[in-house]
């Protein structure tokens, strides 16, 4: 029983550490999405994000913002990973609760 308890504690510690690292990385990445607008045949790029209750568009320019798009893509992947980490953490906590009873 002690071995199982140790495994659960290690798993919880691992998930909490991973959750903290992902959250820290998410804070450094931009939020929102890049939107393309065609006006009079020209292409313009905007960053679209929610600020409070409003959706705000910030002009980025005529050049495709590859670096920004890559960062936004990385943010989406990290958010998906964070969701899985939190699900795993929930399972570990649930299992720890059963072992106490």
Residue 99: what pLDDT?
Answer: 60
Please list the alpha-helical segments (H only) found in the chain: 2-28, 66-100
Bridge partners, residue 56, by sequence? 49
pLDDT digits (tens, 9 = 90+) for 11-40: 999 999 999 999 999 999 999 999 999 999
What confidence tens digit (pLDDT) does each residue in 42-83 have? Answer: 999 999 999 999 999 999 999 999 999 999 999 999 999 999
The H or E element containing residue 44 is strand 42-51
What gap in Å lies between CA 88 and CA 38, rounded to an integer?
A: 44
Could you tell me the pTM of the whole model? 0.78
pLDDT at residue number 100: 57
């Amino acid at each position: 029983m002690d071995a199982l308890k140790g495994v659960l504690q290690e798993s919880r510690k691992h998930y909490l550490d991973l959750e903290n690292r992902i959250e820290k990385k998410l804070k450094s990445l931009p939020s929102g999405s890049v939107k393309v607008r065609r006006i009079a045949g020209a292409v313009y790029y905007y960053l679209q994000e929610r600020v409070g209750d409003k959706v705000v568009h910030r002009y980025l320019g005529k050049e495709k913002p590859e670096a920004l798009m890559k960062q936004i893509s990385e943010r989406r992947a990290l958010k998906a990973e964070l969701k899985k980490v939190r699900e795993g953490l929930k399972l570990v906590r649930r299992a720890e609760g059963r072992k106490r009873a």
